[in-house]
Amino acid sequence: MKNIAKNLLISVLAIFIGLSSVYAQTASERSPINVNLIIDGSVSLSGVKDEINTWVSRRLDQILVNGDRVTVWSAGTQARVIYSGRIENNERETVKRSIRDISPVGNNADFSGALRDAANRQSGDGYSYTLLISASPAALTSVLSSPQANLLRFSRVEEFTSWRALVVGLNIDSKVKNAATAYFTQ
């Protein structure tokens, strides 16, 4: 009985280790993607800026690989691109510095303008990852009542004490429709 249990345990571990190596893919092994990072640039950012900077820096270290294209918006009174470039060598630090240097301005965050611009910049072939950081519960209200509300339809929200992070599936509806059409016409 002891040998059976021992053999079963060894078999389970061997299968687990074998499958994990088949499905494991480090970030450095994947193809480059487009990363859109939209940060609330309104005065609501002031009280949580350090916490957001720390969290975003860790997140960027987890997801960015050489070759990724990154665009960062400061969504203050008017959304503006504060960084745009391809990640090579030490560019991660340049991206992080651009985020740290955001100076909060105005009472409103122009998420609509940043989302519209990010959606327009997307190429049809590549994958993209869009992360929107909102420091005010009211900041998303203007987006939800604008024509860009449909851009938030496919989002995942992560709530923090005084802010939230939304992973937004920009233009994903057309990709899903095209994939479904291609699948069913084969």
CATH 1.10.3470 fits 31-180, yes or no: no
pLDDT tens-place string over residues 168-183: 887 666 666 666 677 7
pLDDT tens-place string over residues 97-145: 999 999 999 898 998 899 889 988 876 667 888 999 999 877 776 777 6
The more confident residue out of 181 and 8 is 181
Chain mean position to CA 146: 22
The CA-based dihedral angle spanning residues 124, 128, 134, 140, taken in that order and rounded to the nearest 10 degrees: 30
Percent of residues in the chain assigned helix, strand, coil, to nearest 5: 50, 20, 30
pLDDT tens-place string over residues 53-82: 999 999 999 999 999 999 999 999 999 999
CB within 8 A of 57, min separation 6: which ones? 96, 99
For residue 93, is it left (φ>0), alpha (ψ between -120 and 50) or beta?
A: alpha
Contact between residue 67 and residue 80 where contact means Cβ atoms under 8 Å apart:
no
pLDDT for 83 equals 96
Confidence of residue 16 (pLDDT cuts 50, 70, 90): very low
Domain boundaries, the chain: 31-180
pLDDT for 148 equals 67
Single out the residue of 157, 52, 163 nearest to residue 102, CA to CA: 52
CB within 8 A of 120, min separation 6: which ones? none
- Average confidence score pLDDT of the chain: 80
